Amino acid sequence: MALQSLDIKARSATTTQSPAARKTTEVAKLIDISKCIGCKACQAACMEWNDLRDDIGHNVGVYDNPHDLSDQSWTVMRFSEVEVEQGRLEWLIRKDGCMHCADPGCLKACPSPGAIVQYSNGIVDFHEENCIGCGYCITGCPFNIPRISKKDHKAYKCTLCSDRVGVGLEPACVKTCPTGAIVFGSKADMIHHAEGRITDLKERGYSNAALYDPKGVGGTHVMYVLQHGDKPELYANLPKDPGISPLVGLWKGVTKPLMNLGLGLAVFAGFFHYVTAGPKEVEEEEKTD
Amino acid sequence: MSKPIQRYTARERSNHWVVAIAFILAGLSGLALFHPAFFFLTNLFGGGPWTRILHPFIGVVMFLFFMAMAARFWRFNHFTAADRQWMARIGDVIRNRDQGLPEIGKYNAGQKYLFWTMVVSIPLLLLSGIVIWQPWFAPYFPIWLLRAAVVVHALTAWIMILGIIVHVYAAIWVKGSVRAMTRGTVSEAWAKHHHRAWYREMTGK
Ligand code: SF4
Ligand code: SF4
């Protein structure tokens, strides 16, 4: 919901500048996977703050519960059991949800003006009152995040608690995390904080520990500290080098204005042909009518 | 005083106009979602969500009636040697220099190209449209296919709209053509001038 209507950096399906008089600090949420114990307190806090209740699902033999993101579950802990080194089992638990991309594919793909906005603080927010339920955002997102409600056919996802952040609070998941695995602040501070964590992890034998802030989407406003930074796929298929699909780029890039131009030119060509070459009339026709 | 020649029966005309009306509605609602410059067109359909809901159903109507129409007109649309000669002189046709053009049948090469463009694009639009049809079908397809389908759908629709712009203009440009689809008949002079082989077939002259 629009609490920050003057802080808009980008707005879906809008070709003019959005109100951008105010410039706010770029924020970020940092999720340190090495500190996460998988307690799902953040999931509960998300439901609580946003007043969401998913349907009771079925146990399919994994710890992920609910099994997937939905219009009611904006964040889900994804549990991966991996053996990075022979004989050394690791349980990697990744808090999945919207990454709040600096270059959001969802926003680029959306055809409805103002259904998706990006605030100057970096949060990407869906304004469901403008959503038409076309699902284009799904094709645009490199992280498989937006979900269309089966009830109202609107798209939903994590808001990074834009309503809390707008009044100076941290997101609900951050507030509740008992181990301090989720922290929130300015993006610069979070990168700095991550560097400390990565040095620490490297000292403890995780030589590939790294920050996940993928450049392919211009960086994200939800970042991870990964113990195995060289293999993000280990973490429930976190993409190594995410980017907006070239097909979506083709579909939403320069092609469309050019296609509009083509249609306009065709109509003009017809009109000018008529006023120059003139209609094709059959001479004898007059006497037949 | 010559008698008008029957070109389209009442059934053929109705079929054509169902397709035409569906095309206009599908085209306007599709353009609305194609580019923000056209988003205002959603107002014609009762807003954004209604546009999203109605567009695919209109598309299916267009597909079904187009297929019926294509089946009727299929056999008149095979290319012939005369069509190739006609096409070689397309520059003269456009400049209204029609003297000495080859005798052609019910349709000229331009009309035939349009026919085959539609025969290819409309089923492609249907198939790609089903893949991205929310909420009914899209959730069952993998994301790579959705991404490909949105591109195919937009591109095919664009080609089709261009084709229809040419089609409509040709009907305005070539005087005496519109009545073929509104009243079903053309003048003898029109038939003799533009489609002489067909004229001979119809009149035995
Ligand atoms: S479903 Fe809603 S938010 Fe997603 S692209 Fe369509 S209008 Fe935009
Ligand atoms: S992760 Fe997906 S839904 Fe979130 S901002 Fe990026 S593209 Fe949009």
Residue A94, strand partner residues = A78
Domains of chain B, start order: 5-74+81-203 (1.20.950.20)
Is CATH 3.30.9.30 the classification given to domain A8-234? no
Where chain B has pLDDT below 50, the residues are none
Q: Place A3 in a pLDDT band, splitting at 50, 70 and 90.
A: low
Please report the ipTM that was assigned to this predicted complex. 0.90
**Residue A288: pLDDT above 50?**
no
Task: Supply the mean pLDDT for chain A.
Answer: 93
Cβ of residue B190 closer than 8 Å to a chain A Cβ = yes
Mean pLDDT score, A131-145? 97
Q: Place A284 in a pLDDT band, splitting at 50, 70 and 90.
A: low
pLDDT for residue A254: 84
Q: What is A102-125 written as a DSSP string?
A: SS-HHHHH--STTSEEEETTS-EE
Q: Place A253 in a pLDDT band, splitting at 50, 70 and 90.
A: confident
Closest residue on chain A to B149 (Cα): A247
Q: Place A179 in a pLDDT band, splitting at 50, 70 and 90.
A: very high
Half-sphere exposure at residue B42, Cβ-oriented, CA atoms within 13 angstroms: 21
Q: Where are the domains of chain A?
A: 8-234
Tell me the whole-structure pTM to 2 decimals: 0.92
Distance from CA of A139 to the nearest CA of B (A): 6
Over the stretch A186-229, which tens digit does the pLDDT of each residue have? 999 999 999 999 999 999 999 999 999 999 999 999 999 999 99
Over the stretch B131-153, which tens digit does the pLDDT of each residue have? 999 999 999 999 999 999 999 99
Q: Do A111 and A78 contact (CB within 8 A), yes or no? A: no
Tokens representing B157 are 């629709």
Distance from CA of A99 to the nearest CA of B (A): 18
- Return the percent helix, strand and coil in chain A, to nearest 5: 30, 20, 50
CB contact under 8 A, B135 and A153: yes
CB neighbour burial string for A208-230, b if at least 16 within 10 angstroms, e if fewer: ebbbbbbeebebbbbbbbbbbbe
Cβ of residue B165 closer than 8 Å to a chain A Cβ = yes
Q: Distance between CA A246 and CA A243 in Å, rounded?
A: 8
Q: Distance between CA A224 and CA A232 in Å, rounded?
A: 10
Over the stretch A158-170, which tens digit does the pLDDT of each residue have? 999 999 999 999 9
**Residue A23: pLDDT above 90?**
no
Taking only residues 86 to 115 of chain B, the set having a beta carbon closer than 8 angstroms to any beta carbon of chain A reads 94-96, 98
CB contact under 8 A, A247 and B166: no
Give whole-number Cα distances, A263 to A266, B46, B112, B116, in Å: 5, 25, 21, 20
